[in-house]
Chains A and B, each alone.
Chain A
Amino acid sequence: MPTDTLTAVPRAGAGSGAPTRGAGLPVLPYLLIFLLACALPLAGDNYWTVIATRAAIYWVLVSGLNLIVGYGGQLAIGWVALLTLGAYTASVLAGGNVLPPVPPFAALAVAGACGGLFGLVVGLPALRLRTFYFAMATLGFATIVTQIALAWQDVTGGGIGLPGPALPAPFDSEVGLYYLCLAVAAACTLLSASVAASRFGRGLIAIRDAEVAAEACGISKARLLAAVFVFSGVFAGVAGGLFASLQTYITPEAFTFELSVLFFISILIGGRGSILGPLLGTLILTALPEFAAPLAAWSNFLYAAMLLVIVLTVPGGIAALLDFRGRRARDDDRRVLPDPSRLQRLLDRGESGRGIELQDVSLHFGGVKAIDGLDLAIAPGRIHGLIGPNGSGKTTTLNVISGYVTPQQGGVRQAGAPVPMGQPLACAGRGLARTFQTPRIVGDATVLQNVMMGGHVRAAGTFVESVFRLPRHRRDERALHQDAHDALAAVGLAGLAHLRADRLQHSELRFLEIARALMLHPAYLLLDEPAAGLSADEILRLGELVREISRRGTGVLLVEHHADLIFDICDHVTVLNLGRVLASGTPQEIRQHKEVVSAYLGA
């Protein structure tokens, strides 16, 4: 196992907003736990071996579920359903009571595949249902699977249940089964960590905390969640098979709702967006009832009480407690000093031709006419300023171009070809990047990770390649890393790469969003009031940066209130009022324009 992958593996995982590639520090805790786990059976007491086996099996499931709940932010509470499914699939196939008996490991594989399929089925509602609704749906699904297991007597043995798969020679003993489960758990840790450290892991966090920005970066929530639901379903199915072997005999009563709660709480106590936190959470919650045997009846109460305490006091969970690097005190006097020379590698696209044209675009929300027959053009290599009082349709125009709203009339063309309306996901593919009026960032992740999200569509590696860290995945990561460091240096935030994004000041967040947009090597850049909340000299430096970006061939649309910035850097200015063009021309023409002055002064 080449060292760099090992050091790289948990880099994003050790704690939310985990530190840089640095020393092997983040690997240490995993190695420690793994060595301790290997030594456990030597203590001679098989009881603790069995408990550790159960913890390993639960971690196989939780490591997959963690990507959905911890990283993706989807509240999948009913995951015992897939454990039940995997257990019964493996047992029925291995037991051979319905079909001719299948060798146990093949049965385990089929259980995994079955888990993957049903992971998708359980997960799909997440795409349409709001969080509380989805949580209720998965809970409902969990009760249904148990009841089907009860009712389908001739296959599942109904209330009687059926024996679990009996594993061949070395794994039939407690210690043998333990080492098998430990190996599977270690593999699952590596696989889920490599997904977490890949662009898909970052995509999940983006969906969780900044869904609108994720769309702008071309991260498709549907495709990503579908892949992760299948991935986590496979883990849950395999865990189900191993669980059936550990139990030696399974009945519907074994798959209790408390198990679902245990999986869910171990992730939340462990901490969102982390691998180590939920791993520790799972170990603690599995061992807790064994220590607290006299109050066995109270174990579920303890779980719930722990969850409440964690949610109220440290929402970040154990991971947040352990994440010291991400929270180091930042020196407050640092200033944003863009270095436009670093733009060279990022803006190599230089698209020529007619740029983006809006033709007779009209759009109204209910009775209010937001845009009324607008014609506008963004030429490559030039800055087009858009100003006007509140409610004049500036931001709505930008949202039409980037596909967030669909106009009732008119259309948008790019380089002559018509652009389908209302598809924000597609605009990243067309080389069109944007920023937002209020910065949309992932507070938990580092500045570098936030920026790398911008380059999502430029990477070519598929999900599976990231799972197994195949060459194309590693090439993508290296390219994204390089681009991100260039982009951060270009906007002047190079020193803050490994800080948690929520530690940044407001003005730094503005420049962070621009860096994220640069990751797309954009042909067009749409800026939505980037100067709001900046100090005077920060506005000057922003102006120079935007001018440099446009000089390298990128067409820029600048929506702004700050009239001085507009007149300073724009090649062309359009003034909107009540959704119609009041005036359009060079900055000098606009400054003398009678209506503009009165519209601004409100004659």
Chain B
Amino acid sequence: MTLSRRNFVLGSSGALGAALIGAPRFARAASDSIRIGWLAALTGPSSAPGVGFDRGVNFAIQAINAGGGVNGRQLELITRDTQGDPTKAVNATQEMINSRKVHAIWGPTNSGESLAVTPIMARARVPNIHPCVIDSLIDTKRFPNAFRIAPSSTQWDDAVRGYCLNVMKVKKIAVIGDTTGYGVSAAKSCAENFKRDGAEVVYLGNIDATQPDMSPDMLRMRNAGAEAIVVWSVSTGMESRMLNKRADMQWDVPFVGHPSLASGEIRSLVEKPQNWDKVYAVGYRSCSYGADGKLPPHSQELVDRVKGKVRLDDTLLWWVAAGVDAVELVAKAVRETGSSDAKGIIEHWNTLKAYPGYFGTYTYTPQEHNGYPTQEVVMSAANSARDGTFALAPGYN
């Protein structure tokens, strides 16, 4: 009897359903572990930062658990790949809050997603640390539970502008952003700040990250007489194509901008290594080595701890360090308040004064949740990557 088509479909869809049904995660009995939710963009467009943070987070979790956990309780990391898609991020956040009942959430890593999930986490008053730079994400009145571990886009912008005007002393600036939520707002405010400080913004444009050929925009910038190109984007593919076009056009103009300009992925995308010269990316004092080639002692300590366990050559140290700091901030709050209760964690974080994390020294108050100190934001030479750290850009004291 030949298997009629109908039985085949009924059989297979039944089997498929059964296999999947077997793995639903209805709310399990609340074990005593400290659960940390991690909204990671591990695949999908602009997933480079997510992968870096993920390495730091997993390293910190294993390190703490190996040392007996916090007050005897083990840390449990619940990771959901949001693919940078706001719809998947909302679903994942709801699952972590209602179904898995996590004690704190780290992430998400992209602006589009964080704009969608921040109000949801605020309503559930879940302690949340995230590295997203958009200014509107931190508002101690509307989102008292949300803390930012990285500098805000304004702080990045101040550092870039400071370097262009005070160190390179250029006047005509071109500003480029990609078409993501982050790219658009960062490019706009950057241009306004440059004008406010007396510089001349000769070109402002948003380029789709998947645009294959960069010659239209690069030609327009050169014709406009730009002396420096400021780039705000996480798309390493787009940035490398611009660097290659700069080399094709034999146009000696410096690139300054988003940390992703220094990402390991760009090394494999630029046609010639020298295409990556004169590119300065936002960096951090903690992750930059001086003329003597040495890192600040606290950062060197982290590099030594992760040696052999975490690959640093194809990512950025600050992503890894921020991942480690986030987990340790949660562990510290639970250890010192004695419980994993949300209010306790939030109040504890509000009292942090210059807490020495690997990535930065954080200071939070009930009115200010942008904890990263502006003076620790510096420019670094993009192609000087060594195990995720960079050389300070020329001109710093």
Contacts and interface: CB of A to CB of B under 8 A. Distances in A.
B179 interface: yes
B88 A313 contact: no
A44 B26 CA distance: 10
Interface in B76-109: 80-81, 83-88, 90-91, 94-95, 97-99
Contacts, number: 120
B91 A51 contact: yes
Contacts of A163: 119
A253 B99 CA distance: 26
Contacts of A249: 86, 115-116, 118-119
25 contacts: A45-B26, A47-B98, A48-B99, A51-B91, A54-B87, A150-B184, A153-B188, A158-B184, A159-B179, A159-B206, A160-B134, A160-B181, A247-B90, A248-B90, A249-B119, A253-B112, A254-B87, A254-B116, A289-B91, A292-B20, A296-B83, A297-B83, A310-B9, A314-B6, A321-B9
Contacts of A296: 80-81, 83, 88
Nearest to A173: B123
Given A256-B85, A291-B20, A45 B182 contact: no
**Which of B5, B90, B183, B184 neighbours the largest number of chain A CB atoms within 10 Å of its CB?**
B184
Interface residues of B, number: 47
Contacts of B395: none
A529 to B, nearest CB: 35
A250 interface: yes
Interface residues of A, number: 41
B120 interface: yes
Interface string A315-338: 000000100000000000000000
B20 A161 contact: no
A250 B87 CA distance: 9
A336 B354 CA distance: 94
Nearest to A291: B20
A291 B118 CA distance: 24
B180 A253 contact: yes
B1 interface: no
Interface in A413-439: none
Q: Tell me what chain B mostly uses at the interface: helix, strand, loop, or mixed.
A: helix
Interface string A248-269: 1111011010010000000000
B2 interface: no
A50 B91 contact: yes
Given A47-B97, A50-B94, 4 more contacts: A45-B26, A247-B86, A254-B116, A309-B9
A161 B9 contact: no
Interface string A211-222: 000000000000
A288 interface: yes
A1 interface: no
A527 to B, nearest CB: 38
A600 B20 CA distance: 70
A246 interface: yes
B90 A50 contact: yes
**Which of A44, A150, A246, A254 neighbours the largest number of chain B CB atoms within 10 Å of its CB?**
A254
A57 to B, nearest CB: 11
Contacts of B179: 150, 158-159
Interface in A386-432: none
Contacts of A153: 184, 188
A186 B180 CA distance: 36
A46 interface: yes
B5 A291 contact: no
The 10 A-B pairs of least Cβ separation, nearest first, read A159-B184, A46-B98, A47-B99, A254-B86, A47-B98, A251-B112, A50-B94, A291-B20, A249-B116, A313-B5
A13 to B, nearest CB: 21
Contacts of B120: 248
Given A45-B99, A51-B91, A250 B185 contact: no
B43 interface: yes
Nearest to A246: B90
Given A50-B91, A253-B84, A321 B99 contact: no
A341 to B, nearest CB: 42
Contacts of A50: 90-91, 94, 98
Contacts of A158: 179, 184, 206
A253 B120 CA distance: 18
B9 A313 contact: yes
**Which of B10, B24, B86, B185 neighbours the largest number of chain A CB atoms within 10 Å of its CB?**
B86
B396 interface: no
B23 A291 contact: yes
Interface in B160-200: 177, 179-185, 188
**Which of A160, A161, A246, A256 neighbours the largest number of chain B CB atoms within 10 Å of its CB?**
A160
